[in-house]
A and B are shown apart, each in its own frame.
Chain A
Amino acid sequence: MQVMQKLGMGQAVNQALREEMRRDPRVFIAGEGVGVSIHVNPMFPTHGLLEEFGPGRVKDTPVSEAAIAGLAVGAAEAGLRPVVEIMFNPFFTLASDMIVNHAAKLRYLSGGKSTFPLVVRIKSGAGFGAGCQHSHNLEAWAAHCPGLKVVMPSTPADAKGLLKSSIRDGNPVIFIEHMGLYFAPMPVPEEEYLTPLGKADIKREGRNLTVVTWSGMLGVAMGAAEMLSREGIETEIVDLRTLAPLDKETILNSVAKTGRLIVLHEATRTGGFAGEIAAVVMEEGFKHLKAPLRRVTGPDIPVPASPPLEQFYIPDENDLVRAAKEIF
């Protein structure tokens, strides 16, 4: 029988890191404050790892994102299994030369001879009043780069299994954690398990409407599904979990069943990943659609700091319900 524990997503990530570091001496972590942190909080992902694994494997770095990402690229090729942290999603841009131009491409450029098994963990998400230089969701940028895998878990249990798979994967993996999920404990199996990359998960079954979402927006989708259910609309929620590689099959099967699709994400709209999913469904599942599809996303603005403005930015249950009603 599965023994369950209640963990926030940060704790689940922590458990995955611990298990993988115990299992494989090649795994090390590096980043700004991954060892000694300004936070003394067990809800945070790297809490207590320095104490267990020591400064040889838990490397606090200078504030140098390009070097942190490059460290991962070089060390991965040399046979280690780096798991590096970028503190907030917008600082991906400072690391992006090493990730986009190097991690993603060097294997291909070597004709498949060199490999770069590394994980870049990135904390993300709006909702903290920190403003756009801390809250910009850039997953679509990463997913636009062939050679990268992009993982965005929406539950602590998935985070644990997906991170373990990411660390064991032979490719560079961008692993994006929504910080809002750090503080919402949910059941996580105590035992060791791997959750496969590239497989979406049906988080709720329904026959009238498919909502495809990921990361912090799963909660919004679940809440809206309850509201819609009271009005007789049964929503199926496809939690993507991995943006690249994309599990088209699960999306298309669900749309074939329900005939209606909404894609929901926190990131801004134009060029957002919802557009990609919409295109896939138009190209490969158009015949199943009974109504035009809809995107529910952040508006095309930088995330503002002021609470009412930030709330306006973040998609909520009412936005999803409203979009659903437009297509029934």
Chain B
Amino acid sequence: MEVPANKKIEMLETMILSRKFSDSLAELCRIERKIPGMMILSTGQEAVGSGVCAALEPEDVIITNHRSHNHLLAKGADPRELMAEIFCKKTGCNKGKSGTLHLAVPEVNAPCTTTVVGGTLPIAVGQAFAQQYKNEPRVTVCFFGDGAANEGSFHEALNLAALWQLPVIFGCENNLYAGAQRYEEHTRVQDMARRAEAYDMPGVTVDGNYAPEVYRAAREARQLALEGRGPTLIECKTYRCRGHGESDPQHYQPGDEIRAWQEKCPIPRLGDELVSLGVIPSERIKEMESLAEKIVENAVRFAEESPYPEPHEALEDVYV
């Protein structure tokens, strides 16, 4: 399948936005400590969320995890509301109830985010079941890490989705680490995608640092799902360039490993390709960068200037 040029440009844009967004959060955590809670970023992994979401239509659903910012931005969430929520402000997309870890943006069909590892998969199965039940031409993607594939929920969800041929895409973001445990310290099988065989569904391993390849796999899986041919497991091999969270000094990640993967950064990789193939002029990338910078600056300002919720608002939103 040819990946359309406009899609490649879209992926580059969302990756650049996502990178600016996380760079700014990393900086705020480091020097200013303005943001409560844990800060978990996707730096270096942007091709996964950007590639998958470019392959989706607005009506498709994503269910994402603790490392959600890139997925949500790529799905079209408002950076200002995300940033304000990450700052735990009243104007955040979840009124300060979530903070950075459980950002829910139903407006873009990202109705819930869970930080319980492995939680995204069964929920996605439920969403896909509803889509099948109502005969809707749309699909659900769940994102999860390589670590999550060792929770029981992974296996139960894959089996059920395959059994009922549900329109769901299991998006495994294999960034080589689960906390401080390197992949081979928690999993024996070399490619996580091979586990798909056990449930009799297609399993593909793609270069998770090359957005067009992620796009292609997701688009094909979406097509299968829409045709009633069930779920697909896509394993995107990528790398966690920063610590698990911003307070993690990465003492267990070899420096040359980090540098080698930084060399494979998905953003220049796609950007250079588009420029060298003459799809866009190099100035266009500069424009994308300065636009992203403005968006992020604006979001941070909005978040900083916004008030915190009033204490008693804690009591709201428990029940309908």
Give residues in A with beta carbon < 8 Å to B: 32-33, 36-40, 60-66, 90-91, 94, 128-131, 133-134, 299-302, 304-309, 311-313
Contacts and interface: CB of A to CB of B under 8 A. Distances in A.
A309 B309 contact: yes
Nearest to B86: A305
Contacts of B14: none
B314 A129 contact: no
A130 B115 CA distance: 10
A305 B186 contact: no
Contact of A308 (B99, B178, B248, B311): B311
B3 to A, nearest CB: 33
B99 A38 contact: no
A37 B226 CA distance: 42
Contact of A129 (B99, B118, B247): B99
Contact of A305 (B96, B147, B247): B96
Contacts of B298: none
A313 B152 CA distance: 32
B308 A306 contact: yes
Contacts of B36: 129, 305-307
Contacts of B249: 40
Given A63-B147, A63-B178, A306-B96, A38 B243 contact: yes
A109 B181 CA distance: 37
Contacts of A308: 96, 308-311
B98 interface: yes
Contacts of A32: 178-179, 181
B114 A133 contact: yes
A134 B186 CA distance: 22
B71 interface: no
23 contacts: A32-B178, A36-B180, A38-B243, A38-B244, A40-B249, A62-B147, A62-B150, A62-B181, A63-B117, A63-B147, A63-B148, A131-B98, A131-B101, A134-B101, A301-B315, A302-B318, A305-B97, A305-B100, A307-B36, A307-B88, A308-B310, A308-B311, A312-B312
B56 to A, nearest CB: 26
Interface of B: 36-38, 88-89, 96-102, 114-118, 147-148, 150-152, 178-181, 185-187, 243-245, 247-249, 251-252, 308-315, 318
A90 B180 CA distance: 21
Nearest to B186: A62
Given A133-B101, A299-B315, A33 B180 contact: yes
B318 A133 contact: no
Contacts of A299: 314-315
B152 to A, nearest CB: 5
Contact of A90 (B37, B116, B252, B309): B116
B116 A63 contact: no
Contacts of B37: 128-131, 305
B301 to A, nearest CB: 19
Contacts of B186: 60-63
Contacts of B117: 63
Closest 4 pairs between A and B when the two form their complex, measured CB to CB: A305-B99, A306-B96, A129-B36, A129-B37
Contact of B115 (A33, A62, A131): A131
A304 B96 contact: yes
A131 B181 contact: no
Contact of A304 (B147, B148, B314): B314
Contact of A64 (B150, B244, B313): B150
Nearest to B87: A306
Given A33-B181, A131-B101, A134-B115, A307 B187 contact: no
B319 to A, nearest CB: 10
B287 to A, nearest CB: 35
A309 B314 contact: yes
A162 B187 CA distance: 35
B152 A66 contact: yes
A33 B251 CA distance: 13
A210 B181 CA distance: 47
B178 A131 contact: no
B69 to A, nearest CB: 15
Contact of B179 (A33, A305, A312): A33
B152 A64 contact: yes
A38 B96 contact: no
Given A60-B185, A62-B147, A62-B150, A309 B116 contact: no
A130 B151 contact: no
Nearest to A64: B150
B156 to A, nearest CB: 11
Contact of B102 (A38, A66, A131, A301): A131
A127 to B, nearest CB: 10
A313 B318 CA distance: 13
B97 A309 contact: yes
Nearest to B310: A308
B102 A62 contact: no
Contacts of B148: 63
Contacts of A38: 179-180, 243-245, 248, 252
- Please indicate which of the listed interface residues B88, B89, B114 has the most CB atoms of chain A within 10 Å of its own CB: B88
Contacts of B185: 60
- Please indicate which of the listed interface residues A32, A299, A306 has the most CB atoms of chain B within 10 Å of its own CB: A306
A36 B177 CA distance: 12
Contacts of A64: 150-152
Contacts of B318: 300-302
Nearest to B102: A131
A40 B309 contact: no
A53 B131 CA distance: 52
Contacts of A36: 180-181, 252
